[in-house]
Amino acid sequence: MAAEIVYPKIRLGKREIDIFPYWIGLLVVGILFGLVGAFIAFKEGLHVTGLSNQVPWGLWISIDLSAIALGGSAFVFGAIIYLLQIKRFESIGKLAVLLGFLGYSAAGMVLLMDLGQPLRFWHPIVYWQPHSLLWEITMCVVLYLAVLLAELIPVVAEHPYFEAHPWQDRYKILKTLAGLAQKVSVVLHKIGPVLAILGMTLSLLHQASLGATYSVLYGRGVWFNQSAPTQFVFSAMSGGIALLFFMSVFVFRVMRPGLVKDEALYDVARLAGGSTLLLTYLRFWDWAVTNYYSFDRQISLQTQLLDTVAPYSASFWLGQALFPVIAGSILLAAKQVKNFRYLMAAATIPVFAAVLTRWNYNFVGLIAATSYDPFTPTVRLFSYTPTWVEFAGASLVISYWLLVFSLATRYLPFHGEYHRKH
């Protein structure tokens, strides 16, 4: 039996107000504003953005990579539920699938705006470039998005509408479609282990390849390292599972109390904490190899220039070292802390660190770029400021993510076989 869904309300005096309609209205405004910016970008081209030949990647690509990273809990919990057969995480895994689908679909929306020729988005699927890392990433993302969609259909089909609804008696076509959806859902649920293996393989491949894309760019200097693929994988695990825990507390303790036991939520927090500490350990040694043990003067020059225009070094030591260690330790000790407010506050730090890592990877080597002259290497400082069109595009993608998530958490039951029996 599905747990009763509690709709959060705020109290104004003696009245309790459901803020959901106002929240949806705000998101619709954000989407409309974003559509205006997207239309101008499609009509006028990328020259309406702050991008240039020197800084070709900007705000949009940072959102793209961050969305992909924060959807990283989907492949982790797919393996936990279907391969390790830990069914008590089943409802949480359904939420992880939703977060994964939203992350990758949002990334696709961003790329459509970020492409210089958006009408050619289908070219990588038809014109193969097997020696290109970006082509491999594109194919993995497209295929993984299809896997996530297949995993999401059974979650949507759990809605009571597909079992019985007055409209189905009135319109036979709706009854037929609902029955078909349930049959498809049963088939997809049976092949869940296959989808989990495909999803984990595709996700690990493209997450690692995203890091490899930067690690082979020698001209980027400060980010030229061979551990980037591993760091990208663990960054997606850290930020993605931390976001999943944060959202799970809201969905399963506030809106659906009792559907998921607190012990299961503590275990999710511990997974986030462990992956965050491991990632921080890797990040520290990467810094040591790149900066302390390196004799490359260009890296020190890049760092000095970056510190003159932004708190680059401080962002590393605070945002990717000190705070993640504190947050990871708190999350790892979730069963001892047993305070969801503290744990949720700690979970925001790995999420922020994942976004910060993507932001730095995109901008550091572009803002302070090394020359390609091997005899007289120099470091030049460039600038980049997003235009309102870029912020509008960001508003479109973020509002879409929040809108679909809000509707799903309000109307989907997120129950599974394990919770029907317990």
| Tens-digit pLDDT profile for residues 160-193 | 887 777 777 777 887 788 788 888 888 888 898 8
* C-alpha to C-alpha distance for 274 and 267, rounded to whole angstroms: 10
DSSP 129-159: -TT-HHHHHHHHHHHHHHHHHHHHHHHHTTS
Residue 422 has pLDDT above 80, yes or no: no
Q: Is residue 354's pLDDT more than 90?
A: yes
Q: Give the largest Cα separation in the chain, rounded.
A: 79
Which amino acid would we find at residue 96? A
Q: How far apart are CA 248 and CA 266, in angstroms?
A: 11
The pLDDT value given to residue 224: 66
pLDDT at 327: 96
> Looking at the DSSP assignment, which residues form a beta bridge with residue 15?
12
pLDDT at 98: 95
Which tokens hold the place of 346?
């700690």
**Could you tell me which residues come within 8 angstroms of residue 182 by beta carbon, excluding any fewer than 6 positions away?**
157, 162, 163
Share of the chain above pLDDT 70, in %: 93
Say which residue, 294 or 283, is predicted with more confidence.
283
Residues ≥6 apart with Cβ < 8 Å to 200: 75, 78, 79, 83
Q: Is pLDDT larger for residue 302 or for residue 255?
A: 255
Of 169-183, 343-357, 406-420, give the lowest mean pLDDT range: 406-420
* The predicted structure's pLDDT at residue 1: 44
Q: What is d(CA 244, CA 92) in angstroms, rounded to the nearest whole number?
A: 8
What is the average pLDDT value for the chain, to the nearest integer? Answer: 87
pLDDT computed for residue 12 by the predictor: 76
Residue 10 bridge partners (DSSP): 17
Tell whether the model's pLDDT for residue 419 goes beyond 60. Answer: no
What is the pLDDT averaged over residues 204-222?
76
Q: Which one-letter amino acid corresponds to residue 214? A: Y
**Alpha helices in 157-171, H assignment, sequence order:** 166-170
Q: What is the average pLDDT across 212-230?
A: 71
Over residues 35-60, the mean pLDDT reads 90
Separation CA 211–CA 213 (nearest Å): 5
Asked whether residue 37 carries a pLDDT value surpassing 50, the answer given is: yes
Domain annotation for the chain: domains and CATH numbers = 17-421 (1.20.1630.10)
Answer yes or no: pTM beyond 0.85.
yes
Task: Give the model's confidence band at 418: pLDDT under 50 very low, under 70 low, under 90 confident, else very high.
Answer: very low
Q: Are 366 and 55 in contact (CB under 8 A)?
A: yes
Structure confidence at residue 303 (pLDDT): 83
User: Is pLDDT above 70 for 229?
Assistant: yes
Position with higher pLDDT, 134 vs 329 = 329
- Smallest CA-to-CA distance from 362 within 51, 9, 37, 41 is with 51
Over range 391-412, report the average pLDDT: 94
Q: Quick one: tokens of 8?
A: 């959060």
| Distance from C-alpha of 134 to C-alpha of 139, rounded to nearest angstrom | 9
